[in-house]
Structure 1
Amino acid sequence: MDEPHRDFLERLLTTPSPSGFEADVQRHWVEYVSEFADEVRTDEYGNAVAVVEGGDPAVAFTGHADEIGMMVNSVDDDGYIHPSRVGGTDRTVTKGQHVEIHTEEGVVRGVVGQTAIHLRDTDEDEIEDVSEQHIDIGAESEAEARELVDVGDPITFDTPVRDLQGTRMAARGMDNRVGIWVSAEAARRAAEADVDATIYAVSTVQEELGKQGAKMVGFDLPVDAAVAVDVTHAVDSPDIGSEDDEHGEVELGGGPVVARGSSNHPEVVRAVREAGDAKDLPVQLQASGRSTGTDADAFYTSQGGIPSLNLGLPNRYMHTPVEVIDTDDLDAAADLLAAFADESSGRDEFSVEI
């Protein structure tokens, strides 16, 4: 990944955007796509759409901008913050973490308290739900804490972006800032290649709360097909094991993942796979016998049915502050989608023949 596009990825990853509070990261995304798009628009909730004008077909490359997190739920008499979840926050990884509370006046730093091992009966250790944990901001009273934070302020883990070995990278919120990076980059590469198709790059909000942004956008998005780019589970770590039949066979660094079944339209699946073959790009496959849990599930039932595909980006340790991806997978995904648009140029539909 070259430096300017790596910088864009880091801006996305370091900008807090819990579900319902995505405006700051959407501003970065809009600024980036405005450099090459013919039109950029946003809606009332902050969904962003960039259009690269062309001919048939019109295809959408989408990702969701929001990340999981927490928010201030209450403040007790001693000045401790009691949080609630935003999205699918994992209670097993919250304790003992540095956090940032994002207030109208700026960031308030704190830590999620964890009783020292010396003072616990480790034989009876249980992990409390997020709502039963507490955040220590150093305040000595409820009044002092309430001067600094308000109920409903969003909270994110204070986790930096770290380069690991080779092209591996760790950060919080890979889910799904990597997806909106790919949606923007695929559109940019298609525009740079002067692809004949029309491209809609989309960055949705509130996916972690039930794919809400995609439902809004899908209502009137004028496209013939939509590819929802989101993370998927890499199974090549010791806690899962690459030979675990239940979880498939996705590997980090093996390329983007084309899901098959359920909401994944067979003609779009075929077209993306053929584009990968034509450009000699790595593609992994994944079975999807139930809902994908991604924005694809919202798009494919919109407007009577938009032919849709979930394109996965391999990710280790999903919904933790230390998600790990391989940047080569992101580059390959952007190239794959640009190739899909190019190879589909002139096509007017993706219907299943009956």
Structure 2
Amino acid sequence: MHESRRAFLTDLLETPSPSGFETAGQRVWTAYVREFADEVETDAYGNAVAVHEGSGEGPTLAFTGHADEIGFIVRDVTEDGFLRIAPVGGSDRTVSKGQHVTVHADEPVQGVIGQTAIHLRDPSEDEFEDISAQFVDVGADSDEDARELVEVGDPVTFSTTVQDLAGDRIAARGIDNRTGTWTAAEALRRASEADADATVYAVSTVQEEVGLNGARMVGFDREEVDAFVAVDVTHATDNPDVATKRRGPVELGEGPVVTRGSANHPELVTLAREAAEAADVDVQLQAAGTRTGTDADAFFTSRSGVPSLNVSIPNRYMHTPVEVVDTGDLVAVAELLAAMAERAAGREGFAVEV
């Protein structure tokens, strides 16, 4: 990965962006895409849209990712200065205790989610407490001390940052889904540099983790978009502790994952597979019998129905502080999106023939 683009990825991953508090992360994203986009806009809730204006020939494509990450929120301060928390999105109660966290108050406040030492616990009674029963220790001795630092409603994220692993692999929190917003931006950059005939949008949505909310806003507002491609992460099932019955065909380092079924429009699936073959990009296939669990589920029912597709990045350990991806997969997704934009230029649309 090119040095400047890797720096952009690191900036995205290390900028806290929990659902409902995405502003700092969106500023990183918009600052980067302004270098090559013809126009960049944001709406009232912080959804960000950048555009490459094509020649007007062919359909308009929007490549999207969601800016928000899971986390926690301060719901109360106890008399002895500990913080009670609630989940933001699908926070995993089995990995939270004993972790360093940052409370994003007016100034960042460092803390830990408390875990009673193994010496003081009865192993027979060990269980994973709900997030609502867990607490953050910021070092305060009383509620007065704690309230000088934080207040109810402050968001909380794990304090982990990006770590390089072997080869092209990295570990970080928030890979779900700042990697998607990275690929959307990179696809737009490629379209801009190639002066693509197709008009291409890159979109960074908010509040996906709490109900696909930003995608609903963008899908309603962007009447000019003929097709949405939502880039998100999907479960790589190639690590040893995944149960056999849950193992699928998705592996790290084996390229983009094109989803079939449910919201995924068959014409867009065909376009993606043909573009991948033409660009010599290896792809993996995944089935979605009911829903994708991504922004594509909101985009495809916008207005009277907008053709949509979910393209995914293989990701290990989703919704933990140590998500793992192969950066080669990110580059391959961007290559696929750019190839789709090039191949779509001569089309009139994506409607199925009935």
TM-score norm. by structure 1 comes to 0.98
The 8 Å contact of residues 224 and 348 in structure 1, kept in 2 or not, is answered as no
Instruction: Check if 1:77 corresponds to 2:79.
Output: yes
SS of 1:219's partner is helix
What's 1:59 paired with? 61
Match of 2:175 in 1: 174
For 1:122, the equivalent position in structure 2 comes to 123
- Cα deviations by residue, 1:153-196 (Å, 9 ceiling, x for unpaired): 00000002000000000000000000000000011111111211
Q: Does 1:250 align with 2:281?
A: no
Q: Which residue of 1 aligns with 2:143?
A: 142
CA distance in 1, matches of 2:338, 2:182: 13
Contact 1:97 1:112 in 2 (8 A): yes
Q: Distance in 2 between matches of 1:170 and 1:19?
A: 21
Contact residue 237 and residue 246 of structure 2 kept, 8 A:
no
Map of 1:305 onto structure 2 = 305
Question: Is the CA contact 1:19–1:205 (under 8 Å) kept in the aligned structure 2?
Answer: yes
Contact 2:238–2:247 under 8 Å retained in 1: no
SS of residue paired to 2:153: coil
Equivalent residue, structure 2, for 1:9: 9
Amino acid at match of 2:45: Y
Q: Which residue of 2 aligns with 1:346?
A: 346
Distance in 2 between residues matched to 1:224 and 1:329, nearest whole Å: 26
| Residue among 88, 92, 96 paired with 1:86 | 88
Q: Structure 2: which 5+ runs fail to align?
A: none
% same residue: 65
- Taking the aligned partners of 1:111 and 1:179, their CA distance within structure 2 comes to 29
Provide the C-alpha distance between the structure 1 equivalents of 2:37 and 2:348, rounded to a whole number of angstroms: 22
Instruction: Check 1:190–1:86 CA distance in 2 against 1; reply closer, same or farther (3 A cut).
Output: same
Distance 2:221 2:145 in 1: 48
Corresponding residue number in structure 2 for 1:109: 110
Q: Secondary structure at the match of 1:188?
A: helix
Aligned: 1:279 with 2:279: yes
* CA distance in structure 2 between the aligned counterparts of 1:135 and 1:344, rounded to whole angstroms: 50
**Residue matched to 2:152:** 151
User: 2: distance between equivalents of 1:40 and 1:7?
Assistant: 21
Structure 1 gaps of 5+ residues are: none
Paired residue total: 351
Separation in 2, partners of 1:220, 1:247:
38
Residue 94 of structure 2 aligns to a residue whose secondary structure is helix
Equivalence for 2:162: 161
Q: For residue 251 of structure 1, report the CA deviation from its aligned partner.
A: 0.2
Which residue of structure 1 aligns with residue 229 of structure 2? 227
Residues 13 and 161, structure 1, Cα contact 8 Å, conserved in 2 = yes
> Which letter maps to 2:201?
Y
How far apart in 2 are the matches of 1:231 and 1:42?
24
Instruction: Determine if contact 2:256/2:311 at 8 Å carries over to the other structure.
Output: yes
Q: TM-score, normalised by structure 2?
A: 0.98
User: Partners in 2 of 1:100 and 1:351 — Cα distance?
Assistant: 47
Deviations 1:191-225 (A, max 9, x none): 11121100010000000010000000000211111
CA-based RMSD: 0.8
Aligned-residue offset at 1:247: 4.2
